[in-house]
């Protein structure tokens, strides 16, 4: 078990390295010139050249890559070209909103999606099932920002129940925190919920059609409810897998949701940084998101052993 965990962790290192190389080379090739942006409107070309030099943007590719990697290994993500703040500090400032948004979204969508999926499987073939499935298909056919603006329009502007934008730290109380975060979490969660409801339904049906369940049924074991509880436990592995894979959609959606609701999180930091070609920030954030994604899926892999004792490596 322990050696399996170690092996899995070691196996993620090359992946992360590839990501790092890819992210770095991508932005090295980018045509935007941060020096010109920094120099501003009134700058002369000579000013721009001086700034470029002072930022070290004129050094060759590999020198910059290894320099960058070496510093990252020491925990230094570099300094933002625009704010002159350490990237790690900027990321730190923005982790709380993004983390809160993701946790709340996960919580909301899982607590809706799994019952939805189970009920759909239970009422397989009825209008309930079809309603759930239609909701799910709508869920991932509508762009996050459309849902976001619709929700904001009705619940914030028309009904005036909730704030339009912003973020309140949970340290200021649970209620203000939820008030700000509920709309973005619902907007973001819809896709995720759709995904998980579908997989839950599908795996439930799959498990229910398997031989041992049929046998149990034939023997008249227990009630339908207990049967479903068993089935759900067996369906856990695929569901958790999708939770892990769907995490990418969650990260991508957070980028857009944070822009719509003006949440000062990592997603907005990314968009701002990309539009402004703030290389160190883009590199830091994309690397971070990718590492988190890799870690989440590593965690999912390790969870398998908990959910399904039959899996042994």
Which of these segments, 64-72, 109-117, 222-230, 261-269, binds another protein (CB under 8 A)?
261-269
Structure tokens of 215? Answer: 């046998």
What does the alpha-carbon distance between residue 148 and residue 139 come to, in Å, rounded to a whole number? 12
**Site track for another protein across 108-127, x = CB under 8 A:** ----------------xxxx
- In whole angstroms, how close is the CB of 200 to another protein at the nearest point? 12
* Sign of the C-alpha dihedral computed for residues 10, 21, 91 and 300 taken in this order: negative
Using CB under 8 A as the binding rule, the residues of this chain from 137 to 166 that contact another protein are: 137-138, 140-146, 149, 152-153, 156-157, 160, 163-166
Nearer to another protein, 2 or 85 (CB): 85
**Chain centroid, CA 82 distance in Å:** 26
Q: CA angle, 94 as apex, 88 and 170 as ends, to 5°?
A: 135
What does the alpha-carbon distance between residue 248 and residue 205 come to, in Å, rounded to a whole number? 26
Nearer to another protein, 112 or 144 (CB): 144
Which of these segments, 1-9, 70-78, 98-106, 133-141, binds another protein (CB under 8 A)?
133-141
Using CB under 8 A as the binding rule, the residues of this chain from 286 to 305 that contact another protein are: 286, 289-290, 293-294, 297
Using CB under 8 A as the binding rule, the residues of this chain from 51 to 110 that contact another protein are: 51, 54, 80, 82-85, 90, 93-94
For residues 9 and 16, the answer to whether their CB atoms sit within 8 Å is: no
What does the alpha-carbon distance between residue 123 and residue 106 come to, in Å, rounded to a whole number? 25
Does residue number 129 form part of the binding site for another protein (CB under 8 A)? yes
Using CB under 8 A as the binding rule, the residues of this chain from 219 to 238 that contact another protein are: 238
Which of these segments, 98-106, 110-118, 255-263, 299-307, binds another protein (CB under 8 A)?
255-263
Which of these segments, 14-22, 56-64, 107-115, 215-223, binds another protein (CB under 8 A)?
14-22
Nearer to another protein, 1 or 213 (CB): 213
- In whole angstroms, how close is the CB of 108 to another protein at the nearest point? 20
What does the alpha-carbon distance between residue 167 and residue 254 come to, in Å, rounded to a whole number? 14
**Site track for another protein across 194-223, x = CB under 8 A:** -----x--xx-xx-----------------
Structure tokens of 20? Answer: 């790092």
For residues 282 and 27, the answer to whether their CB atoms sit within 8 Å is: yes
Nearer to another protein, 101 or 199 (CB): 199
What does the alpha-carbon distance between residue 95 and residue 220 come to, in Å, rounded to a whole number? 52
Q: H-type helices in the chain, by residue range?
A: 2-29, 34-39, 45-54, 61-73, 87-122, 127-139, 144-151, 174-208, 211-218, 224-260, 266-276, 279-307
């Amino acid at each position: 078990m322990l050696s399996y965990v170690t092996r899995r962790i070691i196996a993620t290192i090359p992946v992360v390295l590839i990501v790092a190389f890819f992210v770095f080379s991508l932005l090295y090739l980018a045509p935007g010139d941060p020096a010109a942006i920094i120099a501003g409107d009134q700058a002369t070309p000579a000013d721009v050249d001086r700034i470029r030099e002072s930022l070290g943007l004129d050094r060759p590719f590999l020198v910059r890559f290894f320099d960058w990697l070496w510093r990252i290994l020491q925990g230094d993500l570099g300094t933002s070209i625009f704010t002159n703040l350490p990237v790690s500090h900027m990321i730190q400032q923005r982790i709380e909103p993004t983390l809160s948004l993701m946790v709340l979204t996960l919580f909301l969508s899982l607590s809706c999606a799994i019952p939805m999926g189970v009920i759909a499987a239970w009422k397989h073939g009825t209008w309930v099932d079809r309603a759930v499935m239609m909701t799910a298909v709508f869920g991932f056919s509508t762009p996050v920002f459309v849902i976001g603006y619709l929700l904001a329009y009705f619940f914030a502007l028309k009904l005036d129940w909730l704030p339009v934008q912003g973020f309140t730290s949970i340290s200021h109380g649970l209620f203000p925190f939820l008030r700000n975060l509920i709309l973005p979490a619902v907007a973001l969660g819809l896709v995720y919920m759709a995904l998980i409801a579908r997989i839950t339904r599908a795996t439930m049906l799959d498990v229910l059609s398997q031989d041992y369940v049929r046998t149990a049924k034939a023997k008249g074991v227990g009630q339908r409810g207990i049967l479903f509880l068993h089935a759900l436990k067996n369906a856990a592995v695929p569901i958790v897998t999708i939770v892990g894979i769907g995490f990418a959609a969650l990260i991508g959606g957070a980028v857009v949701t944070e822009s719509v609701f003006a949440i000062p999180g990592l997603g907005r930091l990314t968009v701002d940084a990309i539009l402004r070609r703030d290389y160190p920030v883009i590199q830091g954030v994309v690397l971070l998101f990718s590492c988190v994604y890799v870690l989440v899926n590593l965690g999912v892999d390790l969870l398998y052993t908990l959910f399904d004792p039959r899996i042994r490596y």
